[in-house]
Amino acid sequence: MTQGPKPIRVGYADPPYPGQARKHYGCAEVDHGELVARLARDYPDGWALSTSSPALRGVLAVCPPGVRVAAWVKPFASFKPGVNPAYAWEPVIFSGGRRRSRVEPTVRDWVSCNAAIGRGLAGAKPDGFCLWLFGLMGLRPGDAFDDLFPGTGAVTRAWRAFAGLPDPAGPERFAASPGTAEEPS
């Protein structure tokens, strides 16, 4: 009997972006140097970290060599007077993940999906983003996924649905493969 690939464990961090913790969440700033060190130490199979485009240079400065930057592009973004250009994308720094075989579909290093609204917390991730993230990291049911900053719980719920795990909060909201992350416009 042939066994499938060895399960991997991946960590995902979506902390308050540098300079935004007090403004949006009323909490202390996250030390991104310590956070990246923890991700690299605790998740040798792979990890991903969401940040903002203004903070990207500083966060990359504390990352180990070999990380890549992917993009979440938001077709609809908030256009604020005096802010030009609009903040219509967010970087996702990632390392590792499962390598895909030549027969598996290629996952882009970007996704285009609208931001989540009405989830009760600034920065909540939409389902399309979550599915893309799982694909980006090469995750499969049976792998372990740790959401280090669960916020609304949207990413964890999406993982549980993707992995076929029961959601303690209710029935599965969607089922899709990591290659179908784009949402209809």
Q: Does residue 110 sit in helix, strand or coil?
A: strand
Residue 3 lies in a domain: no
Q: What CA–CA distances, in Å, run from 106 to 45, 110, 118, 132, 138?
A: 19, 12, 32, 11, 10
Residue 39 lies in a domain: yes
List the domain range (segments joined by +) for residue 99: 9-163
Question: What digits encode the pLDDT tens for the residues 62-101?
Answer: 999 999 999 999 998 777 788 778 888 999 999 999 998 8
Residue 4 lies in a domain: no
Residue 181 lies in a domain: no
| Count of domains for the chain | 1
Residue 2 lies in a domain: no
In this structure, what are the phi and psi dihedrals at residue 153, rounded to the nearest 5 degrees? 85, 5
**CATH assignment of the domain containing 104:** 3.40.50.150
Residue 179 lies in a domain: no
In this structure, what are the phi and psi dihedrals at residue 41, rounded to the nearest 5 degrees? -75, -45
pLDDT at site 157: 94
pLDDT at site 180: 36
Name the DSSP letter for residue 148.
S
Tokens of 47: 């990890």
